Structure 1
Amino acid sequence: MKAKKEKDLSYKSSPDYVPMKEKLAYGCGALMDGGGVALMACVMLKYMTDTLGIVAASASTIMMVSKIWDAVTDPLMGSITDNTRTKWGRRRPYMLFGGVLLIIALALLFAPIKDWWGITSQAGMIAYVLIFYIVWNTCSTLTQVPYTSMASDISPSFHERNNANTIKLVFSAVASGLAYVLPLLILGAREKGTITGTTFWIVMVAVFGTMFGGGLIITGLFTKERVKPEKVEKKKFNLKEFLKGYIQPYKNKSYAWHIGMYVSAFACMDMLSALAAYYASHVWRGVKMTLPIVGEMTFSSMFIIAPIMVAAVLAFPLVRIMMDKKGKAFAFRMGLPFYILGGILIAVLNPQMGCPAWVIPIVAFLMGFGFGGAQMIPWMNFPDTLDVAEL
């Protein structure tokens, strides 16, 4: 017992050790990492089409243009943060001032432009949303690329990285759950006239602006970068070398497989979250559900997204145990049959075939349990993939 205690004390005094307080501070940055993506995936399209009245084709084009913009700015930001050298590190400064910029960008994006500035024409609304959605995505890139890269900088120890990234994923999943459910409820209240556009804006900025921006500022203030970058010779920007950066990483097989895992898992989740509101309002239109304590409620996307996210979080401990015992590959694959089966059932089941509404949350929970490994393992693999690339 004494030997074990001495070993624990020795380990905690190691420069590679990350205290729990710091791991929690690191996890706070994932409030934006998971919640920001979920918020835009779940709300943005519906906000543009149903609240502002932008035609669906234009709204989809805005989303596409923003993704193309991301494809340019993300690698550029990666190069910038990798070559940054300050006494605060190469990642943290961007979280500190980027967190403030995110709050401002969110406030501008969801400003009630019809009520405040009388922008009601299609051209005016499209131009406004396009500009400030790109601003939002730029601020997101400014913070999320350094934050994601910090996964390999927080400690050289695989054990400490895995622990820190497990905590990060819990924060991410909780934020995703809130961002999937709460904004749709607020947006629904605005569309019904229960609250004004200004009230909607205040809630969005106060809740999500504070959560996303504040979380990143906490990470920037209270975490350390234990892996020090090598000194590199400063070079002028070379467009040819920059463009090579889009192809070069795929020569690393570990990176290519990692990207395949990540895209496959999260593209499905992004599509589901974007379509859930339409699925609820069109397939299950007007269907009522009776819940304990709450009483009767109209079926909404909350009954799909909330069970998925709750089940995913509950699955994390099991995924971690399986990862330690049987490896990351097994932990990733073990839940996929549930994920696939749940997706098929949600696509097939509908009230016209006599399916009761309470079945859908159960199916969504099953799907979420399978999603736990698909969500967790790509992030656990990420710092390892970077290490392989540097060898």
Structure 2
Amino acid sequence: MIAPAVTASTVPRSVRLGYGVGSFCTSTVNAVPGLLLLYYMTNFMAVPAWLAGVVVTVPKVWDLIVNPLVGRWSDRTRSRWGPRRPWLLAGACTLPIAFFLVFAGPPLTGVPAALYVGACFLATATAYALFEVPYKAMPGEMTHDYHERTSLLQWRMIFIGAATAISGVLAPAIVTSQGDDGTLGSYRLMAATIAAILLVSMLGSFFGTARAPMTGAPEADRGGWREQFAAIKGNSAFIWITALACTQMLAVSMMLAAAPYFAAYTIGTPKATQTLFAALVGPMVLTMPLWVWLSKRFDKRGAMMLAALLFGGGTAATMATPIFGSVYAHLMILLVGVGIAGVQLLLFSMLADVIAVDAAKTGKRRAGVLTGLWTAIENGVSSFGALIFGIILSLGGFIESEPSRPVEQPDSAVTAVLIGQTTIPALIIFASVLMTLRYRLTPPVVPAPDASE
């Protein structure tokens, strides 16, 4: 049975915490492979850079199929746990195992290694969809207050900051614990550690959202795919927030894939990956109250533009790292972290608004379909970040290797790393600022669903 509608506008703190802890999963699963998988394949399994980029991309394109399916299924689920939570549990039972297998490091190299990693990463993407899509659909159904959605998601962003620290600091630290570049054994240890964290966080979110209120429409949309896609096609706010998310996450995925290379070949030590991510995480945790205030002061669209300008400005300024050195790079990443904090918070808050408006206008529960399409398109597009960076490396003459056969990279490859980390992502981010102008959903046009439905 569907959880009853409520009239209270405040989500209990225990539910906010229970919901937020799930971000240890959603952030870590994206960040760790985005940060380490390309480097792991090119430098440990002798996979050519272009092929490694394809391996990272193809399973994410699969999201274009599986995410909308999971969203539709969760919309139509009826259970004593509500429509979303059974799927959270299904993801918790499958994702940690699949994630570990990605980095299990069997004795394979070249094309066979690429095929193995690709198959395991495809399984990971499928298991992740079971959790991610229902999880991201929930905020739009917990409250009908325009600004409370931002406040609710502030808790999620704090956990994302902590998860980013795990992804960007702990995971690389485990990998490099047995040498500057790591070993296959250290990658296995990292994967087992992250898998355990995923399991705990996903179960924590499943149990922590048991008392989550449901304020959305009680009936699922029973229309076919054609009718649902036709309705979404006319939802301009959904189209623009999806396009905006795709653009920004494409830049983020490029920077994640480039980070270990930037640390190794621009700064000069692979261990700089950890300190760079520490610089990124601090602002994400500390600036959440500021971004909540700015979203009220300048509305979400104005705050989003400011966040993207800080994000893009810091990324562009990082191009000068070869001139000013490591300390300068870390300071610029601090600025990037401030911008990313605002971008991430406001993206999810805007998506929750779109879901609430759709429910109010249609009288149907389509949060799963909307979220499934949003995450599928976003993941599919952002997955090209690693592919684009892999192609840039290949064009720059980057030479794949194994730990037993270290190589000296040509200057052109080092330049390609810098361009892939800074120049191209900055241009993409600045394009998103212009796209934000087309987003029109503001408080006067955000109706509250009828809680009596």
Q: Same fold (TM over 0.5)?
A: yes
Displacement of 1:190 in angstroms is 4.8
Task: Tell whether the 8 Å contact from 2:180 to 2:271 is kept in structure 1 after alignment.
Answer: no
| Alpha-carbon displacement from aligned partner over 1:148-201 (angstroms, at most 9, x marks no partner) | 01111223344543322110111112202320222223223456587x634542
- 1:131 paired with 2:119, answer yes
Distance 1:19 1:320, change over 3 A: same
Deviation at 1:386, TM superposition (A): 1.0
Indicate conservation of the 8 Å contact 2:143/2:215, yes or no: yes
2:135 equivalent among 147, 153, 157: 147
CA distance in 1: counterparts of 2:228 and 2:260, whole angstroms? 37
Work out whether 1:384 is the aligned partner of 2:353. Answer: yes
Instruction: Kindly tell me the number of residue pairs found equivalent between the two proteins.
Output: 353
Counterpart of 1:204 in structure 2 is 191
Question: Following TM superposition, by how much is the alpha carbon of 1:107 offset from its aligned partner in structure 2, in angstroms?
Answer: 2.0
Q: Report if aligned partners of 2:41, 2:47 keep a CA contact under 8 Å in 1.
A: yes
Q: Deviations over 1:103-147 (max 9, x none)?
A: 111122221312xxxxx2433312211111000000111100010
Q: Match of 1:33?
A: 26
Aligned ranges 1:211-226 → 2 under 5 Å: 211-223=197-209, 224-226=212-214
**CA pair 233-175 structure 1, distance change in 2 beyond 3 A:** closer
Q: In the alignment, residue 357 of structure 2 is paired with which amino acid?
A: V
Amino acid at match of 2:332: V
- Structure 1 residues 1-391: aligned runs within 5 Å: 15-114=8-107, 120-190=108-178, 192=180, 197-206=184-193, 208-223=194-209, 224-227=212-215, 229-232=217-220, 241-242=224-225, 248-286=231-269, 300-350=272-322, 353=323, 355-390=324-359, 391=361
Unaligned runs of 5+ in 2: 1-5, 362-453
Give, in whole Å, the separation in 2 of the partners of 1:316 and 1:41.
Answer: 24
- Can you list the C-alpha shifts for 1:23-78, whole angstroms capped at 9, x where unaligned? 10110111112221111211111111112222212211112211221111111111
C-alpha spacing 1:65/1:99, structure 2 compared with 1 (3 Å): same
Q: Provide the C-alpha distance between the structure 2 equivalents of 1:271 and 1:262, rounded to a whole number of angstroms.
A: 14
- Aligned partners of 2:176 and 2:271 also within 8 Å: no
Unpaired stretches in structure 1, ≥5 consecutive residues: 1-12, 115-119, 236-240, 287-297
Q: Distance in 2 between matches of 1:110 and 1:45?
A: 11
Pick closer, same or farther for the CA change 1:348–1:172 going to 2, 3 Å: same
Shift of 1:247: 6.6
Which amino acid letter does the alignment assign opposite residue 70 of structure 2? M
Contact 1:339 1:369 in 2 (8 A): yes
How many Å separate the matches in 2 of 1:306 and 1:23? 25
Distance 2:158 2:204 in 1: 17
Contact conserved, 1:190 with 1:200, CA < 8 A, in 2?
Answer: no
Residues 85 and 329 of structure 1, relative CA distance in 2, 3 Å threshold: same
CA distance in 2, matches of 1:386, 1:312: 25
Calculate percent identity across the aligned residue pairs: 22
User: What is the distance in 2 between the residues matched to 1:228 and 1:380?
Assistant: 16
Do the aligned partners of residues 169 and 250 (structure 1) sit closer, same or farther apart at CA in structure 2, a change above 3 Å counting? Answer: farther
* Distance apart, 1:248 and its partner CA: 4.8
CA contact (8 A) 2:150 2:345 kept: no
Read off the aligned partner of 2:82 and give its amino acid letter: G
Structure 2: which amino acid aligns with 1:348? A
**Is the alpha carbon distance of 1:232 and 1:187 closer, same or farther for their aligned partners in structure 2, counting shifts above 3 Å?**
closer
Q: Which amino acid aligns with 2:254?
A: M
Distance 1:363 1:160, change over 3 A: closer
How far, CA to CA, are the matches of 1:193 and 1:282 in structure 2?
Answer: 12
**Greater relative contact order, per chain length (Cα 8 Å cut-off, separation 6+):** 2
Deviation track 1:186-236 (CA, whole Å, cap 9, x = no partner) reads 223456587x63454234223x2222222121111121242365335867x
- Alpha carbons 2:89, 2:203 under 8 Å: kept: yes
Amino acid at match of 2:284: A
